[in-house]
Amino acid sequence: MKKTCLAMMTVSLLFAISLLTACNKKENTEQSTNTTSEQQAAPAGAATPIDPATAAKVSGTVKFDGTAPKPAKIDMSQDPGCKGPNEAEAVVVEGGNLANVFVYVKDGLGSRTFDVPNDAVVLDQSGCKYHPHVLGVMAGQTVEIKNDDPTTHNIHPTPKDNREWNESQPPQAAPLQKNFAREEIMLPVKCNQHPWMKMYINVVKNPFFAVTDKSGKYEIKGLPPGDYTIAFVHEKLGEQDQKVTVAAKDTKTVDQTFKAGGM
């Protein structure tokens, strides 16, 4: 009993500290995930020196092979507070390019550790949808959750390896500050009041990750030279890995294609 109590206290303590630190940087929140990763590359050097001079860049496009399924229509009529585009975001394909694929360096960094950036990553709820739909974050990094809707949401992540929680956020409530301690890919987050609301958080231990945009593009910067396994993960289509060797100051293009059958 006592032990768990103590553990809980430390967790809450850590949480409180992270809250404090996150509060300082509130202005900085409007960032796409791509840029976050870019920024994180620099502080990473502090933990394990990565010479920015030799840092390489990996980028590419993720394609979808086959006919994209028609996005399901969502009936939002049950809550008058929900307005906006009502299409499911499970597989978003535009011109053969697949969005919302989480790309990260899965293997090859060895035992390097990286500093956790102080900036919070923002998860916004508006139009009874999550923005972004797929989010990348470093373990321990603060996620700031906002509610821009005139209705109450509840944020309910259902992780496998992290602690589960479920908190309500009434309209105009203060943003929630949360973080995840352990690595976990495609950690589902949902709102119990709006069953269609769903997003995925990806928690990784390094700053080398990105999420493809509508045009299927991604970019990972600041990689030190080496051999890596890069993983492409999609919520429905699963994971695909690719090995890549990066030389100093390299600019590699790594493309990936998901097949329709994966569903």
The conformation of residue 209, written as its DSSP 8-state character, comes to E
167 is a site residue for another protein (CB under 8 A): yes
Exposure string of 211-249, with b = 16+ CB inside 10 Å and e = fewer, is bbbeebbbbbbbbbbbebebbbbbbebeebebebebeee
- Using CB under 8 A, which residues numbered 51 to 80 contact another protein? 72, 75, 77-80
Of 261, 260, 258, 263, the residue nearest 62 (C-alpha) = 258
* Cα–Cα nearest to 144, from 23, 12, 225: 23
| 203 belongs to the binding site for another protein (CB under 8 A) | no
Rounded to the nearest whole angstrom, what is the least distance from the CB of residue 166 to another protein in the complex? 5
Q: Measured over all CA atoms, what is the biggest interatomic distance in the chain, rounded to whole angstroms?
A: 57
Binding mask 181-200 for another protein (x = CB under 8 A): -------x---xx-xx-x--
Contact call for residues 154 and 176 (beta carbons, < 8 A):
no
Nearer to another protein, 54 or 168 (CB): 168
Binding mask 143-162 for another protein (x = CB under 8 A): -------xxx-xxx-x----
* Selected range binding another protein among 4-12, 101-109, 138-146, 213-221, rule: CB under 8 A: 4-12
Told to check if 177 binds another protein by CB under 8 A, we report no
Pick 178 or 221: Cβ nearer another protein: 178
Burial of residue 170 (number of CB atoms within 10 Å: 0-12, 13-18, 19+): exposed
Binding site for another protein (CB under 8 A): 1, 3, 6-7, 9-10, 13, 72, 75, 77-81, 88, 90, 150-152, 154-156, 158, 164-173, 188, 192-193, 195-196, 198
